[in-house]
Chains A and B, each alone.
Chain A
Amino acid sequence: MASSFARVLSSKRKVGILSLVGAGSLTVGFFLNREQHVNAGAHVRRIYPPSAEYPDLRKHNNCMASHLTPAVYAKLSDKTTPNGYTLDLAIQTGVDNPGHPFIKTVGMVAGDEESYEVFAGIFNPVIKERHNGYDPCTMNHPTDLDASKIRGGQFDDKYVLSSRVRTGRSIRGLSLPPACTRAERREVERVVIDALAGLKGDLAGKYFSLTLMTEQEQQQLIDDHFLFDKPVSPLLTCAGMARDWPDARGIWHNNEKTFLVWVNEEDHTRVISMEKGGNMKRVFERFCKGLQEVERLIQEKGWEFMWNEHLGYILTCPSNLGTGLRAGVHVTLPRLSKDPRFPKILDNLRLQKRGTGGVDTAAVGNTFDISNLDRLGQSEVQLVQTVIDGVNYLIECEKKLERGQDIKIPAPISQFK
């Protein structure tokens, strides 16, 4: 399947961003500039040694803080990507948000595709920790969007209220939300909605720009649970991704309201396939078809998605690398959820529970959002299959408990297949 998605570094870039080949000269040029400023006169910026700039991370509990030693900081602090993104910019969100004793956040973001390369010295250990030992230096990430490989995937509607698959895609050659300029963000919007306008049949739809939408459109989108708000989480705002809101942000969805694309929220695009009920197979089929169509349409215009064989799809947050995929269901499990073995069962099935409001929310009643834990190191097909098999197991447990039978904790499934 990888051949369908040949990743050739295209020389056709619509916008004159310096290619990686030019990185060295720009960096040198930048430093020459700084030298001139240093000689420019009295009011000149002091430049402190890395030891004076190293952040105070003693009260921090995030992946960045765990791995950003003074030595790593010193090595990387004067580097920039070709677009000018720096280490300090990448880690700002982690410095500003020490984290939580129980929840370990990532604590850093990428400003562009090259960030993962230029700052590999910190990104790699962070990725390894977050993605359960995945080593970008030695391992390859499998991409597989062939939905025909899925077995099963039609859940009992009595338990599963809705099914959803989401991922993100970034447009190669344009900076990511923490660093993009207004013009770049607008270009992302233009490229994406141009491609989406080419979708046909059950995928045909419409774009609603956040700046232009009418009150009525806004209300409809809220009622459909499609509208996204300006981020309020300091994890996101400290990374600079809410700048210039709501400029060049919007929501596209198909007429049937089963395929949805967010433009310029936390990533260039977030792609969501969803429907009520338990037909995860169909949700994933539409997901794959839509993604492949959009990719084809942007390629026609000389654009492509950010992807490489070690990190898979490149997104803003390292936690979303690889597939960027979260496949989940809203499922009612009144008995199982009260069983003390529930967390362990989920863990062994490589699943995660959230409240039905998404990440950071609590469950309402007995309905949970159950989705895959992993993102990187397994393909889309593998992860969705994991969710399907796992949710089937959970429903079986629920049914057993209904019948007064005992349940078993399943053997842990292996991470990297």
Chain B
Amino acid sequence: MPFGNSHNQLKMKFSSEQEYPDLSKHNNHMAKVLTPALYEKLRSKQTPSGFTLDDVIQTGVDNPGHPFIMTVGCVAGDEETYEVFKELLDPIIQDRHGGYKPTDKHKTDLNPSNLKGGDDLDANYVLSSRVRTGRSICGFCLPPHCSRGERRAVEKLSVEALGALTGDLKGKYYALKNMTEAEQQQLIDDHFLFDKPVSPLLLASGMARDWPDARGIWHNDNKTFLVWVNEEDHLRVISMQKGGNMKEVFNRFCTGLTKIEELFKNKGHAFMWNEHLGYVLTCPSNLGTGLRAGVHVKLPNLSKYRQFEEILKRLRLQKRGTGGVDTAAVGGVFDISNADRLGFSEVELVQMVVDGVKLLIVMEKRLEKGQAIEDLMPAQK
């Protein structure tokens, strides 16, 4: 919650035991790590903006999780959350990001010329290609904790910065609360419009407060570069197009991001970044690159193959339905993307997707012809 941290003082009047949440039915990263002893140690702390331990974990307390899906169960309210509550967040980050240690350094690489290939994914199979990430603006609290004034300031700054983009990146901002019916329908048809979050994972963290105040969508005139303002993060940046030219998508992604970063810097605002955690975002699962590079690809045969999951795992890829996270695949079309976020650079992750999807298509083609694919089984990356 945004203001006033005298509420945390109130809790200190009760013993740690009396306040400790009941996590006995929980299955998320937070519940695995937050012992009573750790709760006691951290509960009196708060970040300079007043974000507390209970603020961090509320979403994890309210959403016990799922037997099969391990959610994170924590959010950050500001950049300092990751420092002040590192004893809770470091082990969670380590578990979620494949063993990434508190002493590890994260590499950022947004040079698209380092990507090999990726311009020729078979368009008979790959329907669309997309890369997304998030960025947070230094000095402002994150969506779970920001006040209306802060959120509006983030919007104002973002609209000004994006307004300075030129060439094929030149575009327009659509504030959610001012949108006309016609604009809204167009954005829906373009698959650009984001809705007020309905997932209890997000709602419980407070990031949907004051909806739709200071939320909006910016996109370029070509409709290939898109920025969401004040949804789950300050900014979500998306590059996408139909077909299989991931290289072009990634080119535009890097160029656009770099330009945007420059424009923000010109206004005296850097993005939240440090050499340990990379880009700092609201959810610990999006640290590092915050990058998800993916394709919508037709794999009707391969998806029924008994080792499909194993193949994806070895390629460090993840499948989702075409409606995004938590949706089911429709008609054999899957959203295939990188599983990792932290500990690999942007180029490395996109490379994994490009190489991995190429292989999946080869396998699909073999299975179409009734041929075996065991010899194609990849090693664990």
Closest residue to B17 on the A side, CB-wise?
A183
- B5 sits at the interface (CB 8 A): yes
**B19 engages A181 (CB within 8 Å):** yes
- How would residues 186 to 203 of chain A score, 1 for a CB under 8 Å from any chain B CB and 0 otherwise? 110000000000000000
Of A33, A49, A52, A96, the residue contacting B152 (CB under 8 A) is A52
- What is the CB-to-nearest-CB distance from A246 to chain B, in angstroms, rounded to a whole number? 9
- A317 sits at the interface (CB 8 A): no
Of A15, A211, A245, the residue contacting B62 (CB under 8 A) is A245
| Residues of chain A in range 233-247 having any CB-CB distance to chain B below 8 Å | 237-238, 240, 242-245, 247
- How would residues 147 to 185 of chain A score, 1 for a CB under 8 Å from any chain B CB and 0 otherwise? 000000000000000000000000000010001011110
- What is the CB-to-nearest-CB distance from A306 to chain B, in angstroms, rounded to a whole number? 17
**B18 engages A92 (CB within 8 Å):** no
Decide yes or no: A242 and B19 within 8 Å by CB, A45-B48, A53-B149, A96-B210 being known contacts.
Answer: no
**B13 engages A46 (CB within 8 Å):** no
Decide yes or no: A84 and B213 within 8 Å by CB, A52-B149, A53-B148, A243-B62 being known contacts.
Answer: no
| A184 contacts across to B, CB distance below 8 A | 14
Decide yes or no: A84 and B9 within 8 Å by CB, A46-B139, A46-B140, A242-B62 being known contacts.
Answer: yes
Closest residue to B83 on the A side, CB-wise?
A43
| Residues of chain A in range 26-40 having any CB-CB distance to chain B below 8 Å | 26-27, 29-30, 33, 37, 40
- B3 sits at the interface (CB 8 A): yes
- What is the CB-to-nearest-CB distance from A383 to chain B, in angstroms, rounded to a whole number? 35
**B10 engages A45 (CB within 8 Å):** no
Alpha-carbon distance between A88 and B7 when the two chains are bound, in angstroms:
14
**B209 engages A37 (CB within 8 Å):** no
Alpha-carbon distance between A53 and B80 when the two chains are bound, in angstroms:
23
- A55 sits at the interface (CB 8 A): yes
- How would residues 144 to 155 of chain B score, 1 for a CB under 8 Å from any chain A CB and 0 otherwise? 000111101100
- A85 sits at the interface (CB 8 A): yes
- B50 sits at the interface (CB 8 A): yes
Of A33, A83, A88, the residue contacting B2 (CB under 8 A) is A88
- B163 sits at the interface (CB 8 A): no
| Residues of chain A in range 73-98 having any CB-CB distance to chain B below 8 Å | 80, 83-86, 88-89, 92, 95-96
- B56 sits at the interface (CB 8 A): no
Of B4, B147, B208, B210, the residue contacting A80 (CB under 8 A) is B4
- B79 sits at the interface (CB 8 A): yes
| A53 contacts across to B, CB distance below 8 A | 147-149
Alpha-carbon distance between A206 and B162 when the two chains are bound, in angstroms:
62
- A413 sits at the interface (CB 8 A): no
Closest residue to A45 on the B side, CB-wise?
B49
- B85 sits at the interface (CB 8 A): no
**B48 engages A55 (CB within 8 Å):** no
Alpha-carbon distance between A54 and B3 when the two chains are bound, in angstroms:
14
Closest residue to A238 on the B side, CB-wise?
B209
| Residues of chain B in range 1-45 having any CB-CB distance to chain A below 8 Å | 1-11, 13-15, 18-22
- B203 sits at the interface (CB 8 A): yes
**B208 engages A46 (CB within 8 Å):** no
In terms of DSSP, what is the predominant structure of the interface of chain B?
loop
Of B8, B19, B147, the residue contacting A183 (CB under 8 A) is B19
- A222 sits at the interface (CB 8 A): no
- What is the CB-to-nearest-CB distance from A329 to chain B, in angstroms, rounded to a whole number? 36
**B150 engages A48 (CB within 8 Å):** yes
| A237 contacts across to B, CB distance below 8 A | 203
- B303 sits at the interface (CB 8 A): no
**B19 engages A84 (CB within 8 Å):** no
Of B1, B150, B177, the residue contacting A46 (CB under 8 A) is B150
Query: Which of A27, A29, A30, A54 has its CB near the most chain B CB atoms (within 10 A)?
Result: A30
**A182 engages B19 (CB within 8 Å):** yes
- A139 sits at the interface (CB 8 A): no
- B61 sits at the interface (CB 8 A): yes
- What is the CB-to-nearest-CB distance from B229 to chain A, in angstroms, rounded to a whole number? 16
- A101 sits at the interface (CB 8 A): no
Decide yes or no: A244 and B61 within 8 Å by CB, A26-B6, A37-B48, A182-B19 being known contacts.
Answer: yes
| B150 contacts across to A, CB distance below 8 A | 46, 48
Alpha-carbon distance between A96 and B215 when the two chains are bound, in angstroms:
14
Of B4, B62, B203, the residue contacting A84 (CB under 8 A) is B4
- What is the CB-to-nearest-CB distance from A76 to chain B, in angstroms, rounded to a whole number? 12
Of A80, A88, A240, the residue contacting B6 (CB under 8 A) is A80
**B13 engages A15 (CB within 8 Å):** yes
**B61 engages A243 (CB within 8 Å):** yes
| B153 contacts across to A, CB distance below 8 A | 46, 48, 52
- A56 sits at the interface (CB 8 A): yes
Of B9, B22, B78, B210, the residue contacting A247 (CB under 8 A) is B22
**A96 engages B208 (CB within 8 Å):** yes
Closest residue to A182 on the B side, CB-wise?
B19
**A96 engages B4 (CB within 8 Å):** no
- A71 sits at the interface (CB 8 A): no
- B211 sits at the interface (CB 8 A): yes
Closest residue to B10 on the A side, CB-wise?
A83
| A29 contacts across to B, CB distance below 8 A | 6
**A96 engages B209 (CB within 8 Å):** yes
Alpha-carbon distance between A245 and B59 when the two chains are bound, in angstroms:
11
- What is the CB-to-nearest-CB distance from A180 to chain B, in angstroms, rounded to a whole number? 9
Decide yes or no: A17 and B13 within 8 Å by CB, A43-B80, A89-B1, A183-B18 being known contacts.
Answer: yes
Give the 9 A-B residue pairs with the shortest CB-CB distance, closest first: A48-B149, A84-B6, A183-B14, A84-B7, A183-B18, A45-B49, A52-B149, A53-B149, A30-B6
- Pull 20 A–B residue pairs with CB atoms less than 8 Å apart, ordered by A: A16-B13, A30-B5, A37-B50, A44-B49, A46-B149, A46-B153, A49-B149, A53-B148, A96-B208, A96-B210, A96-B211, A181-B7, A181-B14, A183-B14, A187-B18, A237-B203, A243-B204, A244-B21, A244-B61, A247-B22
